[in-house]
Structure 1
Amino acid sequence: MSTGSKHALNWTSLLVAIPVGLAASLVTLGFRLLIEGINLLMFGSRQDVTQAIGVWPWYTWPLIVGGGGILAGFFLRYATAIEQKATVRTDYLEVINARLDAVPTKTSLFRALSSIASISSGASIGKEGPMVQLSALVGSLMGRFCFKNLPLKNTDVVAMAAAAGLSSVYHAPLASAIFVAEIAFGISALQRLIPLIISAGVAVLTMSALGYRSAIYPFAHAQFALTPENMLLTVLIGLLAGLAGWMLIWLIAQSRKRFSRVKSLPLRLGLGGVMVGVLAIGSTKVLGNGYEVIVEIMAGSFMLKGLIALLLLKMLATAISVGSNAVGGLFTPSLLTGALLGVVVASLAALAGLPVDNAVIFAAVGMGAVLASVSQAPLMAMLMVLEMTLNSSLLFPTMIACVLAFMVVYRLQSSSTYPVIQRHFSRSDAKFDFDNGIISQFIVSGAALQPQDPVGKALAVSSLKRERFVYVINETGQFMGAVSIHDISRKVLDKEITLNSPISCVTDENFPYIFENQTITEGWEAFARVTLERLPVLNNPVERKFLGALTKTSLIQKAKDFL
């Protein structure tokens, strides 16, 4: 039996993943070069905006960032108008999760232009968002025009391209593949994961062939010692990172709420840009996505007071940029927040007398933990730190910190920065409730008569209640069986019984039933064995008292929340 067209894992998907990964890596490279070219045009330098903006006087910085925001707002307003008119979903994660036909081309391009305007002018936003969105768009176009005759869904090609795009940005193929599987699909199933890994791996090979060979944050020289003091710091950083992630998500929500009062998108993004530009007067390190700043932190270039101030300013700047609807990602800003938090906590611990050999190594632990809390994808976060730093000694502490940070955010019931993950959580909770709920939660009243009652009364009750079966109970409420209205009608017409005959003469004593303390899953299985719409519910196998009925519809309504 051939399963090639029925499963996500097949030779076709593996072969398609190779050109998709190649194309996605070239898209991200083109985006990066475009940003560098704009920086060269605006600032006369290819340096990061945190250094390049210094060629202009400080009092012009709010105007530069604000002007970029206004331009970004015009592009975003046009994209939003198209989305509302055509009721389309642009975000690649939404496209994959909803299994839609394609990533919209026009809205993706205009959102990318909006992002370019924001990023080039120094908005505190990540580059990875538009890079991966454009990669997903290219994957969608390839799926529609190059692979349309293959037994492969377009959303699977989009997922490959998204994983490849993220991989080429961070040089982390495994974490990137996990991210798409974990966030978009809501699972890490092997069948869906392997093509993503191949596509992401091809993207890294392409970037390496083009000269981008090193780890994005080379940090192999320092080793994490598994001492009690270091593990205590790891636990503390994980907990604080969860709070920091929750705070960042809360700040973004508050920022969006307040910026929503400004109806004009150009004005909204322009105002956000001006505010970030004002914060940049305190430190230009708040501009951009934060990559260069992380490198400086790992080199030990900051004093403690500067780290604390930058941590607060960066979180505020990121919340302003994202809240004003600047198109971009939160990956690198989250990584910078985590790096700052990790070094601050380790430095304070050293001042308190704890034996901290190298405070900078906790930057990587903090990076993973805050990323896990903001993205709510802990598996991706721990793998990404490992791949970005090429430091295997960080795996265990990062695992601990990421899990703790994720649990803090989860227990605080924080909304995710990715709306699709909230739906995964809702489905997971609904499935848990379904598996662990009991029948007593769904009992409804059921028509019941006693054995001596006439069959005519059963017909009347059935007509009133619109039920095919009437249950039979004795004087103490014990279940005796059920009578079929169709059987009564047939026997009355055949003159085997009269309307005054007792219903005991047509009672089915072997009628199926369930008990109130059985699980919903057992109730579902009971319905699978019969063709009934309702089943009588009894209190227990000994007393067998009739309590009411369970309907198949109620279970279907409960199951639809996670199906």
Structure 2
Amino acid sequence: MKGSKHALNWTTLLIAIPVGFAASLVTLAFRGIIELINHLLFGSSSEITEAMHVWPWILWPLLVGAGGLLAGFFLRYAVNIEQQQTLKTDYLEVINARLDAVPTKTSLFRALSSIASIGSGASIGKEGPMVQLSALCGSMIGKFLPASLNLKNSDVVAMAAAAGLSSVYHAPLASAIFVAEIAFGISALQRLIPLIISSAVAVMTMWTLGFRSALYPLADVNFHMDASSLFMTVIIGLCAGLAGWLLITLIARSKKLFSRVSSLPLRLGAGGFAVGLLAIVSTDILGNGYEVIVKVMAGDYLLPGLLLLLVLKTLATSLSVGSNAVGGLFTPSLLIGALLGVVLATCGLALHLPLGNSLLYAAIGMAAVLAAVSQAPLMAILMVLEMTLNSSLLFPLMIAAVLASMVVYRLQSASTYPVVSNHFNRSEAKYDFDNMRVAELIIPGAALKPQESVGQALAVSSLKRERYVYVINDEGAFLGVVSIHEISRKVLAQEITLDSPVQQVMDDNFPCVYQNQSMREGWEAFALVTLERLPVLNNPHERRFLGALTKTSLIQKAQEFL
């Protein structure tokens, strides 16, 4: 089958099927390893929040800290390799930079670091290493594809990453959107189609193997949109934006604090110990928070417990991520959002607002905080819809997620994913370029009066290193240009002397641009000529000379978004 230079072709779609199948098996294998560690440490298959009770509470900080210490050793080894070989391990960076492959050794050691952190109860999600390993699997598959298919390894990595994420959350469309939004900047719909195929195949594989139910039990409850529920949705969206901004800020400060500890093992050990101390108050902060979300949706917590858990989980996640524990932020963000949504809805009910079932607002909070933290609102909306299988939540999820992401964006908070910041920067640079005027890039240009000599033109040209010298009248109106090459030719041919006035060799039909023209019009003007700079005039009627616009300055502005 002949390859195509386009991202969307039949070959790409067919390759997406085995990639999705393989990615789902990789996530199952990772999950099995975590369960095995739970059996070895706690003799139980229960979640970490329950299993930790096997040990006396006095040992909890030591257990989580020891896991962090071990995780630090693995992570330090991976970081050393990355620094020595200048590698980019993260699958999003590989996709965005269109690199040849996901590094195998560093990915595996980062996965081992994550297993140590997750297995001992660090407050991080499992999805990060699962998707990284899925991406690694896709990269290895991509290496065996024949070059004639003309399919980049980074495209196969993107398929595998989307498939791995959908295997974790059973949300194929949201997973495909996430990879497209974060890594591609959703720049081309064609690149999204293979991700959907791969993600769907991964979920079908999970269903075939018995993992079929919705992750969160809200499918049978309907959300009724009215003035009160709309008001609460808006409040949740705004508060979730602030909560997401706070979490990102706390993580940044936590990283700065832990960076004082140069040893990675000690750094992760200290982070684990701190989380273990918080676990003395409540073990529900341990792990990624999946089972706690189920409890929240079941109404197992009263308002004081919800508030306490909201604060503790935010702190625990900030400590775990800040200490460089390898893992994801998805499920911790979902738990923080669920807690926030139910807290605000419970307060609304206490104020006698007719909100109906307050537990439904857990899902709205989940989408909103996830959108704020990831800055991928479309992904957050679709993911919560697919995880709850409740279509009545569509509109409140859209409102809350967009509001939350907008709050974080307006607060100029650094994104959880650096790639997102790059996309935002490029988008803003493109917007600036499209809205800038030529006047903003004007530089001074050498100009002479018509009666001045060609000798003076040569002197100005030599001083300014310009091929053309502009000619203006006494009022500053642009008359034309003199070419230094033309002057030299005519002087050598003895057609003029160095004392001849420049008006004898002036070109009065020279292209120009105007100060109020857009950057795009300036670009189009340069596309018609082979000149490095063009004169800038105030308007077509007065034609007053203002300076020059250079091709280099245009290219430098365009480079910011290309």
The DSSP-based 3-state class of the residue aligned with 2:320 is helix
Kindly indicate whether the alpha-carbon contact (under 8 Å) linking 2:3 and 2:149 is maintained by their aligned counterparts in 1.
no
**One-letter amino acid matched to 2:379:** M
Residue in structure 2 matched with residue 297 of structure 1 by the alignment: 296
Within 2, Cα distance between the matches of 1:149 and 1:133? Answer: 27
Kindly indicate whether the alpha-carbon contact (under 8 Å) linking 1:167 and 1:200 is maintained by their aligned counterparts in 2.
yes
Residue in structure 2 matched with residue 522 of structure 1 by the alignment: 521
Structure 2: gaps (5+ residues): none
1:383 equivalent to 2:382? Answer yes
Within 2, Cα distance between the matches of 1:265 and 1:279? Answer: 21
Further displaced range: 131-140 or 478-487: 478-487
Within 1, Cα distance between the matches of 2:109 and 2:87? Answer: 14
Which runs of structure 2 are paired with 1:297-446 in the superposition (5 Å)? 297-446=296-445
Deviation at 1:549, TM superposition (A): 0.5
Deviation at 1:188, TM superposition (A): 5.0
Residue in structure 2 matched with residue 120 of structure 1 by the alignment: 119
Kindly indicate whether the alpha-carbon contact (under 8 Å) linking 2:176 and 2:196 is maintained by their aligned counterparts in 1.
yes
Within 2, Cα distance between the matches of 1:139 and 1:254? Answer: 35
Within 2, Cα distance between the matches of 1:502 and 1:344? Answer: 83
Within 2, Cα distance between the matches of 1:260 and 1:170? Answer: 32
Within 1, Cα distance between the matches of 2:217 and 2:171? Answer: 13
Within 2, Cα distance between the matches of 1:237 and 1:529? Answer: 54
Further displaced range: 236-245 or 49-58: 49-58
Deviation at 1:488, TM superposition (A): 1.4
1:168 equivalent to 2:184? Answer no
Deviation at 1:3, TM superposition (A): 9.7
Residue in structure 2 matched with residue 230 of structure 1 by the alignment: 229
Within 2, Cα distance between the matches of 1:243 and 1:437? Answer: 32
Within 1, Cα distance between the matches of 2:156 and 2:5? Answer: 15
Deviation at 1:493, TM superposition (A): 1.9
Within 1, Cα distance between the matches of 2:285 and 2:409? Answer: 28
Deviation at 1:218, TM superposition (A): 2.9
Residue in structure 2 matched with residue 506 of structure 1 by the alignment: 505
Deviation at 1:16, TM superposition (A): 0.6
Within 2, Cα distance between the matches of 1:72 and 1:3? Answer: 45
Residue in structure 2 matched with residue 272 of structure 1 by the alignment: 271
Kindly indicate whether the alpha-carbon contact (under 8 Å) linking 2:2 and 2:149 is maintained by their aligned counterparts in 1.
no
Kindly indicate whether the alpha-carbon contact (under 8 Å) linking 1:368 and 1:382 is maintained by their aligned counterparts in 2.
yes
**One-letter amino acid matched to 1:554:** S
Residue in structure 2 matched with residue 240 of structure 1 by the alignment: 239
Within 1, Cα distance between the matches of 2:518 and 2:92? Answer: 35
**One-letter amino acid matched to 2:331:** T
Kindly indicate whether the alpha-carbon contact (under 8 Å) linking 1:178 and 1:188 is maintained by their aligned counterparts in 2.
no
The DSSP-based 3-state class of the residue aligned with 1:8 is coil
Deviation at 1:4, TM superposition (A): 4.6
Residue in structure 1 matched with residue 215 of structure 2 by the alignment: 216
Deviation at 1:189, TM superposition (A): 2.0
Residue in structure 1 matched with residue 108 of structure 2 by the alignment: 109
**One-letter amino acid matched to 2:486:** D
Kindly indicate whether the alpha-carbon contact (under 8 Å) linking 2:445 and 2:547 is maintained by their aligned counterparts in 1.
yes
Number of aligned residue pairs: 562
The DSSP-based 3-state class of the residue aligned with 1:497 is coil
**One-letter amino acid matched to 2:468:** F
The DSSP-based 3-state class of the residue aligned with 1:282 is coil
Residue in structure 1 matched with residue 29 of structure 2 by the alignment: 30
Deviation at 1:496, TM superposition (A): 2.1
Residue in structure 1 matched with residue 128 of structure 2 by the alignment: 129
Closer, same or farther in 2 for the Cα pair 1:466/1:188, shift >3 Å? closer
Runs of 4+, deviation exceeding 6 Å: none
The DSSP-based 3-state class of the residue aligned with 2:51 is helix
Within 2, Cα distance between the matches of 1:152 and 1:4? Answer: 7
Residue in structure 1 matched with residue 155 of structure 2 by the alignment: 156
Within 2, Cα distance between the matches of 1:40 and 1:424? Answer: 43
Identity among equivalent positions (%) equals 72
Which runs of structure 2 are paired with 1:51-66 in the superposition (5 Å)? 51-66=50-65
Closer, same or farther in 2 for the Cα pair 1:413/1:3, shift >3 Å? farther
Within 1, Cα distance between the matches of 2:148 and 2:417? Answer: 32
Deviation at 1:494, TM superposition (A): 2.0
Deviation at 1:462, TM superposition (A): 1.1
* Residues 3-24 of structure 1: per-residue CA shift (max 9 Å, x gap): 9521111111111100000000
The DSSP-based 3-state class of the residue aligned with 1:261 is coil
Structure 1: gaps (5+ residues): none
Kindly indicate whether the alpha-carbon contact (under 8 Å) linking 1:177 and 1:200 is maintained by their aligned counterparts in 2.
yes
Residue in structure 2 matched with residue 554 of structure 1 by the alignment: 553
Within 1, Cα distance between the matches of 2:111 and 2:434? Answer: 43
* CA root-mean-square deviation: 1.1
Residue in structure 2 matched with residue 94 of structure 1 by the alignment: 93
The DSSP-based 3-state class of the residue aligned with 2:555 is helix
**One-letter amino acid matched to 2:411:** L
The DSSP-based 3-state class of the residue aligned with 2:192 is helix
* Residues 379-418 of structure 1: per-residue CA shift (max 9 Å, x gap): 1000111111100000100000000000100000000010
The DSSP-based 3-state class of the residue aligned with 1:434 is helix
* Residues 153-210 of structure 1: per-residue CA shift (max 9 Å, x gap): 0000000000000000000000000000100011252110000000000000000110
